[in-house]
Amino acid sequence: MSIARRIEKLQRDFLWGGLEDEQKFHLVNWQQICTPLHSGGLGIRNMATFNKALLGKWLWRYSREPASLWRQVIDSKYGGQGSTISWDIEFTRSVQDWELEMVESFMSLLYSQTIRPGVVDSLCWSPSCRGLFEVRSFYTTLISPHPPGIFPWKSVWKAKVPSRVAFFVWTAALGKILTTENLRKRRVTILDWCCMCKSSGESVNHLLVHCPVAWELWSMVLVIFGKNWVMPRDVVDLLSCWKGIRGNSEAGKIWKMVPHCLMWCLW
């Protein structure tokens, strides 16, 4: 695991430009970065989690290969007094009130399974349509245990803009660019005011969407395209709602680039 942590440190430093002596802020936490694109991450492989997924393959093989020599060696070495290894599940702890719903859900799941008499038990890997274990699907389950939230990843990454600009928009959508508000959260002593309108606090959504200067720029561009629009509450909603000209026409390509260009100019 120490090797995995060293590799991840190199990845983090490279991503944020910190391989040199100059110290750079790591704007987004590594766990978020390792989630898939549709969950708001970059899809970079988490080495420690991937190692667990690889080890999971051996657990699968252990249950599927009862007669193999390597399993017999494991049983004899780690099986205790007997010759088998099994789960020892004991519900001895008192259940708290806030856990009742989870226990009820767990019991409902158990009772929903139909037991067929006279049939040999077998393992089935539900994340795979074939029912067979896959390292990739196990890794995806470990890295994203919950359903993905709504993140406009196509609007961020599909626009025909330089990678540097798309990366900036991704960081802005997560609310992590270094506005004065975020700098103050990092204990940097600085006045919390917008550098353009000189009044409100400089949050990400204010700077890129709601600032009077930003709003004037957005309105000017929308008029050029013949659009009337009420600006959404934040950057994520703006990217999610940025529909209109579809297809691969030149106008469609330009329209998809507009949010990136305006946010980059405002920054």
Encode pLDDT of 112-132 as tens digits. Answer: 888 888 888 788 888 888 888
Asked whether residue 173 carries a pLDDT value surpassing 80, the answer given is yes
pLDDT score of 25: 86
Asked whether residue 267 carries a pLDDT value surpassing 70, the answer given is yes
Task: Output DSSP code: residue 39.
Answer: G
Asked whether residue 265 carries a pLDDT value surpassing 90, the answer given is yes
pLDDT band at 147 (very low <50, low <70, confident <90, very high): low
Of the three residues 149, 165, 187, the one that is the final residue of a domain is 149
Task: Report DSSP letters for 148-199, one per residue.
Answer: PP---HHHHHSSSS-HHHHHHHHHHHTT-S--HHHHHHTT-----S-TTTSS
Residues 81 and 162 in one domain: no
Residues 217 and 135 in one domain: no
Residues 242 and 141 in one domain: no
**104 domain-assigned:** no
48-66 average pLDDT score? 89
Task: Report DSSP letters for 84-116, one per residue.
Answer: ---------SPPPGGGHHHHHHHHHHHHTSPP-
Range with the lowest mean pLDDT among 79-88, 130-139, 257-266? 79-88
Residues 236 and 165 in one domain: yes
Residues 141 and 216 in one domain: no
Greatest C-alpha distance within the chain? 79
Residues 187 and 128 in one domain: no
Would you give the end-to-end CA distance of the chain in angstroms? 39
Asked whether residue 196 carries a pLDDT value surpassing 70, the answer given is yes
From CA 200, how far away is CA 214, in angstroms rounded? 13
In tens, the pLDDT along 1-45 reads 688 888 888 888 888 886 565 667 889 999 899 988 988 999 999
Answer for the pair 159, 69: CB distance below 8 angstroms, yes or no: no
In tens, the pLDDT along 206-242 reads 999 999 999 999 999 989 888 888 888 999 999 998 8
Q: Hey, how many other C-beta atoms are within 10 angstroms of the C-beta on 197?
A: 16
Residues 40 and 144 in one domain: yes
pLDDT averaged over every residue in the chain: 85
**48 domain-assigned:** yes
Best mean pLDDT range from 86-100, 104-118, 201-215: 201-215
Q: Percent of the chain having pLDDT more than 90?
A: 36
**253 domain-assigned:** yes
**105 domain-assigned:** no
Of residues 204, 238, 197, the one with CA closest to residue 221: 238
Q: List the domain range (segments joined by +) for residue 70.
A: 1-87+122-149
Residues 187 and 130 in one domain: no
Residues 178 and 137 in one domain: no
Residues 18 and 72 in one domain: yes
Residues 142 and 204 in one domain: no
pTM value?
0.77
pLDDT score of 92: 63
How many structural domains comprise the chain? 2
**109 domain-assigned:** no
**210 domain-assigned:** yes
pLDDT score of 189: 86
Asked whether residue 84 carries a pLDDT value surpassing 70, the answer given is no
From CA 14, how far away is CA 19, in angstroms rounded? 6
